[in-house]
Amino acid sequence: MSAVETNGPADRAPRSVTILGSTGSVGANTVDLIRREPGRYRVEALTANRNVEALAGQARELGASFAVVADPDRYGALKDALSGSGIEAGAGAEAVREAAERPAELVMAAIVGSAGLASTLAAVRRGALIGLANKETLVCAGDIVTAEVARCGATLLPVDSEHSAIYQVFDFAQADRVERIILTASGGPFRTRSLAEMEAVTPAQAVAHPNWDMGAKISVDSATMMNKGLEIIEAHHLFPVEEKRIEVVVHPQSVIHSMVEYVDGSVLAQLGSPDMRTPIAYALGWPERIASPSPRLDFEAIAQLTFEPPDETRFPALRLARAALRAGGAAPTVLNAANEVAVAAFLAGTVRFLSIGQIVEEALVALGGEALGSLEDVVEIDRRTRVFADDRTGQNA
């Protein structure tokens, strides 16, 4: 990619920003960075799922023009919370999509799961700069989304720490000189536990990540290593590298966020503390660098960095994700939808931890062989997979 020259923050108008999913982990960290430099940004729209109180507080503090709650039953509460502020309120899926369509230069796509697909696509279709923190968008509909990005002139800036790390050291002008991409994984809270021990783990144990502060769903995905499986699929769509050249290595310290190896043997890595504000700041400021309060690395205190191969017997999600990517068609959509249902059931206490992978594998066998030709196909296979997975978790009983 070529360098881009810009004026400094004092010489240009504030960057307009919309945050889809502003009350979640990534959204709240984005708000934190914006509030630290109030003259640099203007907030166009904020959205949340149900948390009206947090959403209204953010909207008032940042002076947003539009605030949306996805749950239409919470519209009255949001209107009341914004009364007298002059901030427009909206509710429901169409309003979330409208928020993405409003004229913000940067859209932070931070809605967790496939629920973020429609709004992210809406931002893509108007050619926006998109901070992509919603990996499920590319997992569910990668070919469709990337085709729309090219057609509409949008820009995807990955916000996952691993893909942001790769983006920062990937030479797009010499993509054919890349030998492999290496995604690092912390290994999650159960890295050293046996299958027998994992059979009995609780939701509270699964969401207690040793390094990162994340929401419950993403924390469980880290514990099963499905998060890393989804990242393999996302990396395949973000970077011109074949699946067989995307590798995973377990790195418990979470200091190296990912690496790119070139044909001359050089390995370029991006390092930092395990704090999501670093990749978020990279996207918020791009192509400039902006300040972030993330803790600085103390190499003497770290002392050593260790690496080990992932165990696909104890963590079958990696195998399932690779199989889904190789199969193509509906398989990645099925993988994601079945996983979302199974994780929700685990968090609700209706299935065991190891059942998550089993339910995903059953769904892939049953539904993963179908073709996808449109966004409507994605929505339909997602729906059917959720019905199938609900049956396996007892949710339809």
Q: pLDDT band at residue 6, thresholds of 50, 70 and 90? A: very low
**Which residue type sits at 127?**
G
C-alpha–C-alpha distance, residues 255 and 161, integer Å: 11
Closest CA to 345 of 391, 393, 392, 385: 393
- Assign 12 to helix, strand or coil: coil
Mean per-residue pLDDT, 91-95: 96
Q: pLDDT band at residue 8, thresholds of 50, 70 and 90? A: very low
Rounded mean pLDDT of the chain? 93
226-238 vs 161-169: helix crossing angle, rounded to 10:
30
Q: Quick one: pLDDT at residue 185?
A: 95
Mean per-residue pLDDT, 53-69: 98
C-alpha–C-alpha distance, residues 218 and 149, integer Å: 26
Residue 347: what are its φ and ψ, rounded to 5°? -65, -30
DSSP type of residue 51: -
Cross-strand partners of 46: 19, 67
Q: Dihedral of CA 267/271/274/280: which sign?
A: negative
Runs of H (alpha helix) within the chain: 25-36, 52-62, 75-81, 93-101, 117-125, 136-152, 161-169, 195-198, 203-206, 216-224, 226-238, 277-285, 299-302, 317-327, 331-347, 355-367, 375-393
DSSP type of residue 191: T
Question: How many Cα atoms are found within 13 Å in the side-chain-facing hemisphere of 315?
Answer: 27
Closest CA to 121 of 186, 351, 140, 68: 140
- Alpha-carbon Rg for the chain, nearest whole angstrom, is 20
Q: Quick one: pLDDT at residue 47?
A: 98
Per the listing, tokens 């979470």 go with 254
Token pair belonging to 52: 């009206």
Q: Quick one: pLDDT at residue 4?
A: 35
**Which residue type sits at 295?**
P
C-alpha–C-alpha distance, residues 226 and 75, integer Å: 34
Strand 178-185 relative to strand 256-262: parallel, antiparallel, unpaired? antiparallel
Helix (H) or strand (E) holding 48: strand 41-48
Q: Quick one: pLDDT at residue 394?
A: 77
Return all residues near 251 (Cβ < 8 A) that are at least 6 apart.
184, 185, 186, 305, 306, 307
Q: pLDDT band at residue 5, thresholds of 50, 70 and 90? A: very low
Residues 288-336: tens digit of each pLDDT = 999 999 999 999 999 999 999 999 999 999 999 999 999 999 999 999 9
**Lowest-confidence region among 83-92, 165-174, 208-217, 242-251:** 208-217
Mean per-residue pLDDT, 210-223: 80
Q: Can you give the pTM of this predicted structure?
A: 0.90
Per the listing, tokens 């803790």 go with 295
210 alpha carbon, distance to own chain's centre: 19
Q: Which domains does the chain have, with CATH numbers?
A: 9-158 (3.40.50.720), 163-275+294-310 (no CATH)
Q: Is it the case that residue 205 has pLDDT exceeding 60?
A: yes
Mean per-residue pLDDT, 140-150: 94
Q: Quick one: pLDDT at residue 211?
A: 66
C-alpha–C-alpha distance, residues 278 and 320, integer Å: 30
Q: Is it the case that residue 222 has pLDDT exceeding 60?
A: yes
Residues 330-376: tens digit of each pLDDT = 999 999 999 999 999 999 999 999 999 999 999 999 999 989 888 89
Q: Quick one: pLDDT at residue 216?
A: 85
Helix (H) or strand (E) holding 66: strand 66-69
